[in-house]
Structure 1
């Protein structure tokens, strides 16, 4: 009895040769070292002769490379050009929307998505809380790095040379809580890297508290941040701390969508009030 052809989610039949080719590529992508044809045949569940034909085409097109000495196979350079092209077309705002919605539902507070743009952050999207008193920032709004929660977590994960250059620029206080001294900010950057997240404790706007976590791409570069914000009357130090775990979970999942593979896990740290207070100093 012939094997039933696989169908797509819409019920349409797939193209068997394409399915098999993708199986081979995905199998090679999971291997840390070059793989022999017999082993690859076993992994994908296809006859050696079939795998050999598929590999011959993939090698010819540059998507797979065969080691001339061992005759084993690994991914070729052309597959990485596809990966880079896909990264360019990834729309962070489109990807981030469901994560923002979930973050707002879990925390009950406004969630924000920003991207890093030179010396500032740019708000890409926001899901407002259901409270009557809530935060609102128009998408496209720009804000400084040094005095916003999202900006500070982006700043903390920049290469040292770039971070030093940005922190050497003149910074004006936005509120009485704004940190503008280079040494103070560097200490906070180190604390953010240790914990994996950071706070804005009325540093950009009086009466507003925010907790933020960075977003990374597949190269491990910081590309933006997710944050939760609200009025200090409701987002107390304890409430801000309670938002950390769901925030880190969602930020990790969105970073994974961008190709990042290292989990964002905070280290053991002081009590909630001490930690939020430290962020304000």
Structure 2
């Protein structure tokens, strides 16, 4: 490798170090950054100027401190726009269905309706023919819906609970708005929801949320099966479910530790 190529590689590497530095720091002076990155001020200043020219770094005119520029946001937005939740989640859903040996769903909320994006059927699940969850369903009557409501904007949730016709889909569907609010609070405390025959008698599920990079809920994943089977291996299923949502969250750029 020639000296010019080595220098170029070093410049790019250090420029990336600068951008990564601001993941945990809102702003910083030249001197502080030079010390923390172990770089000479003169060299660091040249790199910062180059990043400023491209809009990746901005400098406060009053304090002189550096921070991330708008180009970082544009790049992140472009990346996020290219993410397809179904494409990203699909291999994880297949693995979850294989591990749990049950029916797995991926759903999103659209205009106060739960829409199924994926349904992975397992050969050993007895639900291939008897389970009739439609491609759309009211959120108060399904495990996916309860999870999506639990982490949605509370103004939207209150509007739904006060205006929607909360009809029962089964004898176990909760239709009392106050009881639904209590259930949503439990979902947030536990991080998942056990739906006991709320949509169809004899069928239960466990469901958990999927978050975007910004920490907003964008989908939910559920494992469905005959009630007796779901209850008998509930702990095991919840473990597999949360491991799956964690992997999907990571693929989407969501970091649970940073969000807490």
TM-score of the aligned structures, taking structure 2 as reference length: 0.84
Moved more, 70-79 or 180-189: 70-79
- In structure 2, the gaps of 5 or more residues are none
More helix by share: 2
2:212 is the alignment partner of 1:217: yes
Per the alignment, residue 115 of structure 2 pairs with 122
Please list the CA deviations of residues 42-70 of structure 1 after superposition, one character each: whole Å capped at 9, or x if unmatched.
66666544433221121122210123344
Distance 1:193 1:28, change over 3 A: closer
Per the alignment, residue 250 of structure 1 pairs with 244
Distance 1:110 1:71, change over 3 A: same
**Number of positions where the alignment pairs a residue of Structure 1 with one of Structure 2:** 254
In the alignment, the residues of structure 2 paired with residue 216 and residue 165 of structure 1 have an alpha-carbon distance, to the nearest angstrom, of: 22
2:151 is the alignment partner of 1:157: yes
For the Cα contact (< 8 Å) 1:124–1:139, is it kept in 2? no
Matches for 1:61-210 after TM superposition, within 5 Å: 61-131=54-124, 133-135=126-128, 141-168=135-162, 169-210=164-205
Please list the CA deviations of residues 133-162 of structure 1 after superposition, one character each: whole Å capped at 9, or x if unmatched.
235789992122111101101111122221
Shift of 1:234: 2.6
In the alignment, the residues of structure 2 paired with residue 141 and residue 224 of structure 1 have an alpha-carbon distance, to the nearest angstrom, of: 14
Per the alignment, residue 35 of structure 1 pairs with 28
Shift of 1:251: 1.3
Q: Which runs of 4+ in 1 moved over 6 A?
A: 136-140
How well do the aligned residues superpose, as a CA RMSD in angstroms?
A: 3.0
In the alignment, the residues of structure 2 paired with residue 138 and residue 91 of structure 1 have an alpha-carbon distance, to the nearest angstrom, of: 26
Distance 1:18 1:125, change over 3 A: farther
- In structure 1, the gaps of 5 or more residues are 7-13, 264-281
Distance 1:38 1:126, change over 3 A: farther
